[in-house]
Amino acid sequence: MLDKSFKFSGRDLTKLSIMMVIATLLFGLPGLLMTLFLQWITSQSYAIESGNKHGISKIGASRLGGAAIFGSALALYLFGVFSGIIELSPLSTVSNVLWLSIFSCMGIGLMDDLKSNLLSPKIRLIASSLIFGVCLLLIPTLIPQRMGVVGLDFLLDNAITAWILTLVFCVGFVNAVNMADGANGLIPGIITAALAVFYMEVGSFTYAIFMATCGLFTIFNVISGRLFLGDAGAYGLGSMVALNGLFLHSAGVFSAAFLAVLFAYPCIDILVTVARRRISGRSILLPDNDHLHNRVYFHCQGWFRSKTLANSMTGVLIVSCSSGLALLGYIEAWWSVTSNKWAWVFVAQCSFYLFAFVVTGLGRSISQHLPEQ
């Protein structure tokens, strides 16, 4: 039986103290306040999720992490505006459409967080498709013109085909993020690394604010294990980095190859997941516990007595080999972020994923591939 309660023990107090110190050292008073806010959320009796959905966590956890990130980011932004740190300027049509699309996607996820299974996977798929479809129609510059791949560039030459391919990418990426959200720190770590690169390259306060809130959530998620991103986080943050990635690519800031390295894990994971589900004759929409992070966790739980530590180590290991590699390469300036040479790193990441997927699958039974009922 899974523990779905939030009993505050002496160990939890120690963890909270550590998180408060780290958050204060890194982000000052806002970091301390957000940590206390996240702790308060975990003590609430609504929007609680067990580990059944992800096949990793064995303790009850709140699903409102994503909502907390967006709420904290909004609070920080308003504080920056009223304190004069951020100069408020009129939003452009592009910005309005982008953020309306992002918050609409987050709303889809939040409805499911507050009432589990309120929306079926098919309804969520249709709704997100409509949101992205309209967004791409209103901002056609988001649709890539050239990717440097002969066959793909030929398809992108046709406006309708290009719109369809970009729509499929956006919907697929958000679902990839949702599928990969399970191990502590995995998706929030990837998003934090991506936003850090976005901020360092562009210098936007918006990226800095979301980088800080996602970073704080990642610390809380890794140490406590009491808070998931939830669907609001997966859909909201997934759509944010997808649309902003397309925007920055269209502006010539990043090459598609670099962005592929930055978001390697969710992109590779969903392709492998769809392929193996089709091969096994299962619906690609039905969840299972046979992702790479499930397989890594299977072995990590044999190395650590703490379930939270095994879960968190799974997330840290995968982030280090995916987005962490892109962040390291960016800081060390391996190549320009507009270079297509990053494609070689992505090929290496694909190869390592497949190797790790096979190796970590050894010793697991077929029954461990399916979610608990």
| pLDDT tens digits, 150-186 | 777 778 888 899 999 999 999 999 999 988 877 788 8
At residue 165's C-alpha, the angle toward residues 164 and 169, to 5°, is: 115
Of 9-18, 42-51, 218-227, the range with the lowest mean pLDDT is 42-51
List the structure tokens of 175: 């679902």
pLDDT at residue 278, as a whole number: 86
User: 199 versus 13: which is more confidently predicted?
Assistant: 199
pLDDT at residue 216, as a whole number: 93
List the structure tokens of 197: 């690169």
- Please report which residue ranges of the chain form alpha helices under DSSP H: 10-42, 65-83, 93-114, 121-138, 150-156, 159-180, 186-202, 205-224, 230-250, 256-262, 264-279, 292-303, 307-321, 323-331, 342-360
How much is the average pLDDT of 274-289? 82
| pLDDT at 200 exceeding the cut of 80 | yes
| pLDDT at 268 exceeding the cut of 80 | yes
pLDDT at residue 237, as a whole number: 95
| pLDDT tens digits, 229-266 | 889 999 999 999 999 999 999 999 999 999 999 999 99
At residue 127's C-alpha, the angle toward residues 323 and 211, to 5°, is: 30
Q: Which residues pair with 183 in a beta bridge?
A: 181
The model's confidence at residue 366, banded by pLDDT at 50, 70 and 90, is: low
Q: Are strands 61-62 and 48-49 parallel, antiparallel or unpaired?
A: antiparallel
pLDDT at residue 13, as a whole number: 83
Rounded to the nearest 5°, which phi and psi values hold at 48? -100, 140
pLDDT at residue 371, as a whole number: 53
